[in-house]
Amino acid sequence: MPALGYAVTYPFGIVGIILAMVMVRAISRIDPAEEAKAFALEQDSGSEPVQRMCIRVRNPNMTGLRLHEIPSKDSLGIIISRIKYVGETEVGAANADTVLHEGDTVLAVGTLTNLHKLCLIMGTESTEDLMETPGPVTFDRFVVTRNEVLGKTIRELELTQRYGVTVTRVMRADVEMTAIPALRLQFGDKLQVVGKEADIAKVASVLGNSIKDMNRTNFMPMFVGIGLGVLLGLYPFSFANMPTPVRLGLAGGPLIVAIILSRMRRLGSMIWYMPLNANLALRELGITLFLACAGLKAGTHFFEVLFTSQGLLWMACGAIITLVPLLLAAWIGRAFMKMNFMNLCGLLSGSMTDPPALAFANAINNSDAPSVAYATVYPLTMLVRILVAQILVVFFTR
């Protein structure tokens, strides 16, 4: 019977979410392009992007200092990768032991706010671009795929001491960061390395830089995670005044374990990483199998019930249960919380754990903004649904 009710009400469950988005957009006269632009500006204001600045050394107190001795440089998260000595015409690679002289020009990498602070300490901003200045210095980007490197800090790799190169930036999950020495490396991190071409080539083997390893699907960690999730899902949690224990089930258990393991990133030789293509394929396969099983179980009596008074009642109840909470949440989000429309669409999709609705929301303005809100509320929604369903069964059968 639950599978039959699910099958009858599911179609409007998808259409209802999309209809709620369309209604909110029409009633509020929202321009999705402007909302997407506002979301991008909000994201940019939350964290400054990594930039570069050329600084001319004018402070005489800098003369004779090594780069690692510059006051506040490390605390500001600044990396200096290139230097042009006073009187020289070529630029050279800079590292922690490079000695400064008054009149030298250096290229620093960091956030704009911190770069200006360092500029006040060292001298003045230079109009000369050391990236364009000739010299035996180049840069390349490498991906961290070697197990021996994972969990180590950039300082512990000793790339400067061993190869004379400097790591300036780290790209992790589309977020660019300054390569501070204390940053611990994770699988899939992309490092930008500056130095001489021959020295940079040696770094590739240290980090791994294997596209094959990046795209390889390692099934052992996945099945270990699923197994742990199933065990957690079967564990009974007892609460006061509840005659029956509550379980997270085969959906909630693996979800909680996946969140924990993804935060850990690795356990011994096991790396909790899955390529995007494999992730999407397994996700679609799981949804397809779930819907197929629900359809097979409900198919025997589906058409018998669909157009009966009971079937129509179920459909009406499903429409009310879908639309009313969504429209209420959308009204509160826009009127009181001043939520961005693109975020709101992701929240509505995540509150119903509905991937088709998320795809529609992403296609409104070819924006990934809804995915952020969707991923935030999805785990909580899934757990609450599992627990509340069991609590309601216990409550109405007492």
Q: What is the mean pLDDT of each run of 10 residues along the chain (398 residues)?
A: 69 83 89 82 69 94 92 90 92 91 94 93 93 91 91 91 91 85 91 92 91 86 91 85 78 86 81 82 80 70 73 83 90 89 90 83 80 84 81 73
Q: What is the pLDDT of residue 315?
A: 81
Calpha distance 172→191 (Å, rounded): 9
Is 76 inside a domain boundary? yes
Chain centroid to CA 215: 18
Residues 54, 40, single domain; the answer is no
- Closest residue by Cα to residue 245 from 372, 391, 366, 376: 391
Structural domain span for residue 22: 2-44+274-396
Residues 324, 197, single domain; the answer is no
| 387 CB-near residues (< 8 Å, 6+ apart) | 246, 248, 252
Dihedral angle sign, alpha carbons of residues 116, 119, 120, 124? negative
Calpha distance 248→246 (Å, rounded): 7
Distances (CA, A) of 398 to 12, 162, 243, 244, 395: 31, 71, 9, 10, 6
Q: What is the pLDDT of residue 246?
A: 80
Is 152 inside a domain boundary? yes
Is 264 inside a domain boundary? no
Tell me which residue has tokens 């204390």.
Answer: 182
Is 295 inside a domain boundary? yes
Q: What is the pLDDT of residue 298?
A: 63
Residues 36, 168, single domain; the answer is no
Residues 208, 90, single domain; the answer is yes
Question: How many Cα atoms within 13 Å fall on the side-chain side of residue 389?
Answer: 11
Domain stops at, among 192, 212, 232: 212
Which amino acid, one-letter code, is at 348?
L
Tell me which residue has tokens 């500001």.
Answer: 76
Q: What CATH number is attached to the domain comprising 77?
A: 3.30.70.1450
Q: What is the pLDDT of residue 3?
A: 63
Residues 279, 363, single domain; the answer is yes
- pLDDT tens for residues 15-55? 888 899 999 898 888 888 888 888 777 766 556 788 999 99
Residues 197, 342, single domain; the answer is no
Q: What is the pLDDT of residue 280?
A: 78
Reading the block at residue 167, the tokens are: 């790591």
Q: What is the pLDDT of residue 1?
A: 60
User: pTM for this structure?
Assistant: 0.72
For the chain, the domain total comes to 2
Which amino acid, one-letter code, is at 181?
P
Residues 72, 151, single domain; the answer is yes
Q: What is the pLDDT of residue 49?
A: 82
Residues 29, 117, single domain; the answer is no
